[in-house]
Structure 1
Amino acid sequence: MKNFQYKMPTKLEFGIGSRNKLVDICKGLNATKVFILTGPNIVKTEIMTSIRSVFDTSDVDYEIYSEIVTDPPIDVVDKTAEILKKSQASVVVAVGGGSVIDTAKTICMLQTHEGSIKDYLFGGIKQVTKPCMPLICLPTTAGSGSEVTASAVITDKHNNIKVSVTHENLIPDVAIIDPELHMSMPQGVTASTGMDALTHAIEAYVSLNANPISDMNALYAIKLIGENLRTAVSNGNNLEARSNMALASTIAAAAFMNGGLGVIHGIAQSMGGVIPISHGLANAMILPYAMKRNFVGNLEKFKNISIALGKNLDGLSLREAALESIEGVFELAKDISLPLNLKDVGFKKEYIPEVIAGTMAYRLLAVNPCKLSAKDVENILLQAFE
């Protein structure tokens, strides 16, 4: 067995109603004032009503800022960081999906670091060197897993790319995983974020950097998603399915933070810079086609994915059993009514060279289970297009 390191510094509070512990957790972080970050849609919902009520019955001062957009661009992050500074808050609480949480991670970092977030993105001129402002995350989707990871993805509109800032100091202090906060997720969001979590789990499991603990979390996440995503999409009021998807999302993220990702995320991140597509949907559409290329890199693990997705492997060879994992992903995507062809979401063939270039520069491509060329990436995109 190879040597490895496994990090999971975020404290998890998991369970129905766990949001009610929020004030006590803020006090444990010595909060003098709390800056609550959310989006313009969530701020109008019962989710925020319940969060407000928790604070209104306490002696902890708070301020709500709700102007966070999907796929936050550099200027929004920088502006929000300045607003946070002026608020004189000492703890940030992020309530939302991946975009809100990623924004929260970056503005917490900019409280202790000078400059623009652009300076700290991959390839930038500055490095994260100091601890960040304390951050508590309450995810309202089950997909990104950003509440336990070290990365935040930001949109560089000038260069039409999505770029990440990654450092362990960005890892949130506390994640409150309350499945009741997921109950109002629309079907489409439930489907795409659920497939995002599945992509995290599969890429982490087959990564060259995987380890026994990340494997354990990733494979269990795959099983939970295979058993619960269809129900969560078709009946959003099923609290057990929502709970299982919430857990799957978090442990899949913990797996990829330690095990790594691969070509699927490289392509999806690059695609997000050229067309307006959610990260989860981009991952979902590329996932089975990339698996077709990657399965030969670890037949045994792809066979285990097949089993986790509930496929019957009786009488099959190892190669045939591994291929069933791809069929399992196709079936799941069809059952939850996700598009399977890039042309259905506005992607054009002329975008392919730009996406290939972005993918080949992706920092985690090195731990993909197969060494890939630009031609391999092109073939994956062409299959997904047709």
Structure 2
Amino acid sequence: MANRFILNETSYHGAGAINNIADEVKARGFKKAFICSDPDLVEFGVTQKVLDVLESNGLSYELYSDIKANPTIKNVQNGVEAYKAAKADYIIAVGGGSSIDAAKAIGIIINNPEFEDVRSLEGVAPTKNKSVPIIAIPTTAGTAAEVTINYVITDVEKNRKMVCVDPHDIPVVAIIDPEIMSTMPKSLTAATGMDALTHAIEGYITAGAWELSDMFHLKAIELIARSLRGAVDNTPEGRDGMALGQYIAGMGFSNVGLGIVHSMAHPLGALYDTPHGIANAIILPTVMEYNAEATGDKYKYIAKAMGVEGTEEMTVEEYRTAAIGAVKKLSADIGIPTDLKEIVKKEDIPFLAQSAYDDACRPGNPKDTSVEDITKLYESLI
């Protein structure tokens, strides 16, 4: 069986990368942009940095910012109608995973209107046409939504997140500019950074992993482990390393899948509006312990990439413990909580466990699991 890999047509990396937007727009013959961003980024002037580039080059746009932190079906449907009214021909997504995910869903529905209910996009949807062209500009270093074929939309009525996987949704251009990420507060930097680390670790041990994806994930783990503390302190080196590390992690996991850390985090976001990166960070070490027996010698290389010395002389048990310990130490250093006691209500665990088991990421877990296993994992964290 052949292994498939899908990446952006073009990506730009480095400080000032947003200045390449105009050249790309003109070269591709685009006429009017539909800007997807969130209200906070608009309020604090982050989105304006992109608008300034467009305005200084005489490029037309319409701004749409009706996007929640966990974008909903309604946000997408409203966006579809706004796109049509704007008579745009491409999308620029400015923001974290929320803005880019909403943009992907809007772009897919515009060119595949039979999926306008949004719910039918869950899982691997049989769309026929590529999305409206998207230029994705992440403002956080975590989700890597700018390079993935995945997006997540919240179904408010059912209190669940829908994971959608579609090769037709990947942005044609990704602009990864660490300067535009420097406005992130410490707490968001920490949360999104741990999301990126979770992508790299889960992608490395997932059932679909292979040599090419392993190469990306190990480098991502190394970059994130070396850079995240600095990024939280807003150093240029930390921001640069995280911008690249999270993107590389996305190059990998988008093509091979994730596991039950994400499966367990998604319902927390849907039910309690828990920030996705925080949920992942809390759950990751516990699930790493659970999965350890199904990972061969991979924790040795995770530990080494995390900066642990002497891994070649360690026993299997020692390097597995070292890998998990290094993740816990990084998480603690940047202020992530250690448990779900302030988030999860015990009476909700049956619903959470079933939702996690039904989640699209669960089949990628390296160890076969059950609702009962996931229930015990949640219970161990409260």
How does the TM-score come out when normalised to structure 1?
A: 0.95
Shift of 1:3: 4.5
Shift of 1:119: 3.8
Secondary structure at the aligned position of 2:266 is classed as: helix
Q: 1:231 maps to what in 2?
A: 230
With over 3 angstroms needed to count, the CA separation of the structure-2 counterparts of 1:52 and 1:212, relative to structure 1, is same
Distance 2:2 2:39 in 1: 45
Structure 1, gaps ≥5 residues long: none
Distance 2:7 2:345 in 1: 40
Amino acid at match of 1:165: C
Secondary structure at the aligned position of 2:278 is classed as: helix
> Are 2:117 and 1:120 aligned?
no
Secondary structure at the aligned position of 2:297 is classed as: helix
> Are 2:71 and 1:81 aligned?
no
- Deviation string 1:14-64 (CA, Å, 9 cap, x unpaired) is 111010011111122221111111111111334333222211221321122
Shift of 1:164: 1.9
- Deviation string 1:160-207 (CA, Å, 9 cap, x unpaired) is 000022210011111000000010100000000000000000000001
Secondary structure at the aligned position of 2:157 is classed as: coil
> Are 2:350 and 1:353 aligned?
yes
Secondary structure at the aligned position of 2:118 is classed as: helix
- Of the three residues 269, 293, 308, the one matched with 1:272 is 269
Secondary structure at the aligned position of 2:7 is classed as: coil
Distance 1:364 1:118 in 2: 19
Amino acid at match of 2:256: G
- Of the three residues 326, 329, 334, the one matched with 2:332 is 334
Q: 2:163 maps to what in 1?
A: 164
Secondary structure at the aligned position of 2:12 is classed as: strand
Structure 2, gaps ≥5 residues long: none
- Of the three residues 362, 367, 371, the one matched with 2:364 is 367
Q: 1:34 maps to what in 2?
A: 33
Amino acid at match of 1:329: V
Which aligned segments of 4 or more residues in structure 1 are displaced greater than 6 angstroms?
none
Amino acid at match of 1:65: Y
> Where do 1:289-328 residues align within 5 Å?
289-313=286-310, 315-328=313-326
Secondary structure at the aligned position of 1:343 is classed as: coil
> Where do 1:1-386 residues align within 5 Å?
3-114=2-113, 115-122=115-122, 127-233=126-232, 235-236=233-234, 238-313=235-310, 315-344=313-342, 346-385=343-382
Distance 2:270 2:17 in 1: 36
Distance 1:118 1:104 in 2: 13
Amino acid at match of 1:254: M
Distance 2:202 2:296 in 1: 14
Distance 1:6 1:66 in 2: 32
Secondary structure at the aligned position of 2:93 is classed as: strand
Distance 2:123 2:295 in 1: 31
Please identify, of 99-108 and 373-382, the stretch whose mean Cα deviation from structure 2 is larger.
373-382
Shift of 1:338: 0.7
Secondary structure at the aligned position of 2:174 is classed as: strand
**Contact 1:10–1:171, Cα closer than 8 Å, also in 2:** no
- Deviation string 1:336-378 (CA, Å, 9 cap, x unpaired) is 011111012x211111111111121123322211111222212
- Deviation string 1:250-283 (CA, Å, 9 cap, x unpaired) is 1111110112101111111122222120111111
**Contact 1:47–1:181, Cα closer than 8 Å, also in 2:** yes
Distance 1:318 1:303 in 2: 8
Amino acid at match of 1:179: P
Amino acid at match of 2:355: G
Shift of 1:313: 3.4
**Contact 2:127–2:168, Cα closer than 8 Å, also in 1:** yes
With over 3 angstroms needed to count, the CA separation of the structure-2 counterparts of 1:5 and 1:116, relative to structure 1, is closer
Distance 1:46 1:366 in 2: 41
With over 3 angstroms needed to count, the CA separation of the structure-2 counterparts of 1:187 and 1:377, relative to structure 1, is same
Amino acid at match of 1:294: N
Distance 2:295 2:41 in 1: 42
* Count, aligned residues: 380
With over 3 angstroms needed to count, the CA separation of the structure-2 counterparts of 1:217 and 1:123, relative to structure 1, is closer
Secondary structure at the aligned position of 1:342 is classed as: coil
Q: How well do the aligned residues superpose, as a CA RMSD in angstroms?
A: 1.6
**Contact 2:96–2:138, Cα closer than 8 Å, also in 1:** yes
